Structure 1
Amino acid sequence: MPTTATTDRPTAAALGHQERKVLSAVGCGLRDDEIAAALAIPEDAVAEHLARILAKLGLRDRAAAIVHAFDCGLVVPGRGPRTRSVSPVLRTAADRAAGPKVQISVLGPLQAWQGGRPLNLGHLRRQAVLAALALCAGRTLSRQELLDDVWGMEPPVANVVPVYIYRLRKALRIGDSPDSVIEHARCGYRLVSGAVDVDVARMEELVTDIGTADRAGDPTEAVRLCAQALELFRGELLAGLPGPLAELERMRLTERRVALMQRKLEWQLRLGQESEAIAELVALSAAHPVNEPLAAMLMRALYRNGRQADALTVFDRARRRLADELGVSPSRMLRRTHQMILRGDEAGLGLTPLAGWPRTRELPVPPTTIV
């Protein structure tokens, strides 16, 4: 029987979308720096989210938050976060020197290469099995987990997982040897450590490096690393692959890509590179018209570029889309950005260049009146 404290406590429904993601990651045992890397947000933002979570849910400390994450179903025992599962595969120095035997890409249509030669992975359902192994590189997946990930609530008539694994093993042999990059472990299947290079693992390495550059106060390096991570994305994520896992990962990786773009653009604005940022912000805002942080960034960039009227137009368009599509008014953050642009409040908009970093151009004088 649940305790009184549990039944009287507010549920996770009281939390915002990002707060729920942070609580889920906390429940899975991730540290603040790991959560920051997984969600592509600053580490201090994680601490702020956690403080609000504890206050909203009436929880005492982080340990109580972990328990609550399980109690409210945000975390399921034995099924850790996918963001943790896709951490880079650990390899020995000899492995790194030799280079990967097979390259697998999931940040687009699923593809695999060996020595620059594309490999035939078979039909989409079989590819979905390989995608599950690649997304969970370094972890063993049981037959049941693969069935759940690829077939969901409609399992096949026969257990075809061993058949698909057999054919994938043949397609993914290491050179001319009979060995494959997929091995049969005691409880299931996994990719052989050091034999595979998965692009999503490389992205996670870059996200970690981005956090290091951010903490070191090196925005130029952070922008460069963000651009490298974004170059790994190519086309529709896991295009055409069936199953619950592919659907979830498409959403997660799309959010990951947008978060990386937002971080890169934010640093570019802080470095005074608004001209370079505007084109990307326009395209990104068009693709995500109700993303208010993006709208606010575009407004700031346009204002800084001497286009105050265009910045105000962005606010009006965002206000209408929010009302039409979500039935809500602009958030306090977006309204505040609008008001600061009307006042020409550059300091409030955070448009002063970073200390020690020269501006790429002079800030235009804002108009004194609005027609």
Structure 2
Amino acid sequence: MSDQLASNALRYEVLGPLRVWLEGAELVLGPAQQRRVLAVLLLHANKSVSREQLIDAVWGTAVPARAVNLLQRNVSALRRLLEPHRAPREPSEILTWTDAGYLLTVSNGQLDLLAFERAAEQARAARAAGDLPEAAKALHGALRLWRGRLCEGLAGPLLDTERYRLEEQRLGVVEQRIEMDLALGVDVDLVGELRRLIAAHPLHERLHGLLMRALHRSGRQAEALQVYQEARRLLNEELGVEPGVELRRTQEQILAADAVL
């Protein structure tokens, strides 16, 4: 569990396999269908989700005949799981029903996804204020929260869509973190990390540009320019386009031995 998450009685983790902790002990979350319902509610933390939205997010086009009953059964089981000391007829304080649907209330520090998004926003604010060390610290902290892909091992229409979106968001944070490390002269193997990232995301121009800068900073100008040629070939072959403005500018700066780099 991350030290970025506050020491609340309940803690949720979705950045990797879905996990829930209650007073320091990990809960057994039950069958896959119940875990999918919880995952969808956590992705809508502090927002009401209608029955129709939940059913669509959990089952998609394969809606069972008794979907509403199944959903209510799963919600009841989740309430018992998350509030084991609640009396049977006592209303839930965590997973409630509102006029707009089901509402899972999550406070600050309870959910790793919210902590990740908050740290990324703190990094943006610090960078805008010119505080690069603080921005780098926030970005490193945000990325430490990831243990794997979103709700790894669970499938569902909403989960599959959100998984792709969050992977792109995470990659953007990785790129920002590397940019901050380069700006601060952090002594880590950025070249190796960037080569691995490019192997996984070969059409991300920003990664190629960062690799060029990292190689240039290491005194490897010829390799940096070779990266540009390789990126240009890939973009041309795969997308039929030339490199964008940023990548071309990086190449020009390296050719001119620009002190900005």
- TM-score, scaled relative to structure 2: 0.87
Q: Secondary structure at the match of 2:103?
A: strand
Q: Equivalents in 1 of 2:244, 2:13: separation in Å?
A: 38
Q: Equivalents in 2 of 1:137, 1:199: separation in Å?
A: 11
Between 210-219 and 315-324, report the one with greater CA deviation: 315-324
The aligned counterpart of 1:104 is 12
Q: Equivalents in 2 of 1:125, 1:152: separation in Å?
A: 13
The aligned counterpart of 1:334 is 247
From 34, 40, 56, the counterpart of 1:126 = 34
From 208, 223, 227, the counterpart of 1:310 = 223
**Match for 1:177: what amino acid?**
R
In the alignment, is the contact (CA less than 8 A) between 1:113 and 1:119 conserved in 2? yes
Size of the aligned set, in residue pairs, is 250
Quote the offset at 1:113 in angstroms: 1.1
In the alignment, is the contact (CA less than 8 A) between 2:136 and 2:181 conserved in 1? yes
Structure scoring higher RCO (CA < 8 A, sep ≥ 6) equals: 2
Q: Equivalents in 1 of 2:223, 2:256: separation in Å?
A: 15
Q: Equivalents in 2 of 1:324, 1:124: separation in Å?
A: 42
The aligned counterpart of 1:150 is 58
From 213, 224, 246, the counterpart of 2:126 = 213
**Match for 2:99: what amino acid?**
R
Q: Equivalents in 2 of 1:320, 1:194: separation in Å?
A: 48
Quote the offset at 1:289 in angstroms: 1.0
Quote the offset at 1:189 in angstroms: 1.2
**Match for 1:273: what amino acid?**
V
Aligned pairs (5 A) from 1:234-313: 234-273=147-186, 275-313=188-226
In the alignment, is the contact (CA less than 8 A) between 1:141 and 1:187 conserved in 2? yes
Identity within the alignment, %: 39
Q: Equivalents in 2 of 1:276, 1:225: separation in Å?
A: 20
Q: Equivalents in 1 of 2:174, 2:209: separation in Å?
A: 14
Gaps of 5+ in 1: 1-95, 352-371
Gaps of 5+ in 2: 1-5
Quote the offset at 1:346 in angstroms: 3.1
Quote the offset at 1:123 in angstroms: 2.3
Q: Equivalents in 2 of 1:195, 1:203: separation in Å?
A: 12
In the alignment, is the contact (CA less than 8 A) between 1:124 and 1:241 conserved in 2? yes
In the alignment, is the contact (CA less than 8 A) between 1:274 and 1:304 conserved in 2? no
In the alignment, is the contact (CA less than 8 A) between 1:104 and 1:197 conserved in 2? yes
Q: Equivalents in 1 of 2:123, 2:256: separation in Å?
A: 34
**Match for 2:146: what amino acid?**
F
RMSD: 2.2
**Match for 1:229: what amino acid?**
A
Quote the offset at 1:300 in angstroms: 0.9
The aligned counterpart of 2:22 is 114
Quote the offset at 1:280 in angstroms: 2.6
Q: Equivalents in 1 of 2:31, 2:49: separation in Å?
A: 20
Q: Equivalents in 2 of 1:223, 1:316: separation in Å?
A: 30
Quote the offset at 1:281 in angstroms: 2.0
Q: Secondary structure at the match of 1:197?
A: coil
The aligned counterpart of 1:164 is 74
Q: Equivalents in 1 of 2:224, 2:116: separation in Å?
A: 33
The aligned counterpart of 1:137 is 45
Q: 1:194 to 1:257 in 2, by over 3 A?
A: closer
Quote the offset at 1:193 in angstroms: 4.7
Q: 1:195 to 1:177 in 2, by over 3 A?
A: farther
Q: Equivalents in 2 of 1:244, 1:212: separation in Å?
A: 33
Q: Equivalents in 1 of 2:238, 2:19: separation in Å?
A: 36
**Match for 1:228: what amino acid?**
G
Q: Equivalents in 2 of 1:306, 1:335: separation in Å?
A: 19
In the alignment, is the contact (CA less than 8 A) between 2:122 and 2:138 conserved in 1? yes
Deviations 1:102-148 (A, max 9, x none): 11111111111112211111222321111111111111111101012
In the alignment, is the contact (CA less than 8 A) between 1:101 and 1:195 conserved in 2? no
- TM-score, scaled relative to structure 1: 0.62
